[in-house]
Structure 1
């Protein structure tokens, strides 16, 4: 089981790295557009590709956010309960989240497969095959499902399940 959880953690770091690369690409696209507009020009692809990048960043960063506990959490109820009840409430919530995210992954898969099979292209000048940005979003939500599964397994088996501050620099501590 430890090897399986370690694999999920490594895949999560890969998704996180891809999200960072896409944020850098997004910034470069927007900077390119700003410079072009300052010269009274514009590139038709910058807004389109930056939209794809932001959708992929959102999806790819969701799983790592669960892993490192930087997502939004409302603890009003859990702070009033015992640690044992809180644990099993968390396990139940994780299970429900797994079911919901599985439905989302399936829907995105169907959409991506349909775009690939039909060779659907963007209606823009770039004519981007839509399965490419959709596949990045699919990857992100599949990773979210895996990170939720790892969290559920760890929480139910009393293993450390969150890495709060895992990405902090030593100077931040």
Structure 2
């Protein structure tokens, strides 16, 4: 079981690294567009679309590691008043519910991805990006988040076994 948790962490970290590269690309594309428009009165004509895809990708690919790292925004109004044991059980319950809801959400993401793949749907820009590509990135990111949520629910039990 610990191996599975490590694998989920490793894949989440790899997704975070990919998100970092995409962010560097986005900044580079914005700088290129700025230079092209300012100095050469031309454009790549795909900045809005590609930066939109980049933001979407960075967001979804970084979610699972953000959860694992404990960096997600938390509202502790209720949980800070609970005992450590009650807080742990509440977090486990919330993580399990979120995993279930996320899995349900992923069925819709998968259907949309499959539909765009089957139809050969492309974006309406000059680049005509196949829409299954951003759909796939969102699906991967959401799936990793669900796996990380499930791992978050299991970790206290794994740690208890190690101590015992």
TM range (shorter): over 0.9
* TM-score w.r.t. length of structure 2: 0.93
Partner of 1:54: 55
Report whether the alignment pairs 1:3 with 2:3.
yes
Q: Which runs of 4+ in 1 moved over 3 A?
A: none
Unpaired runs of at least 5, structure 2: none
Higher helix share: 2
Partner of 1:16: 16
> Where does 1:65-80 land on structure 2 (aligned, <5 Å)?
65-80=66-81
Cα distance per residue 1:36-85 (max 9 Å; x no partner): 11122221112211111110110011111000011100111111111111
Cα displacement (A) at 1:104: 1.9
Higher mean displacement: 41-50 or 20-29: 41-50
> Where does 1:1-173 land on structure 2 (aligned, <5 Å)?
1-39=1-39, 40-155=41-156, 157=157, 159=159
Q: How much is the aligned-residue C-alpha RMSD, in angstroms? A: 1.3
Cα displacement (A) at 1:158: 5.9
Distance 2:108 2:14 in 1: 23
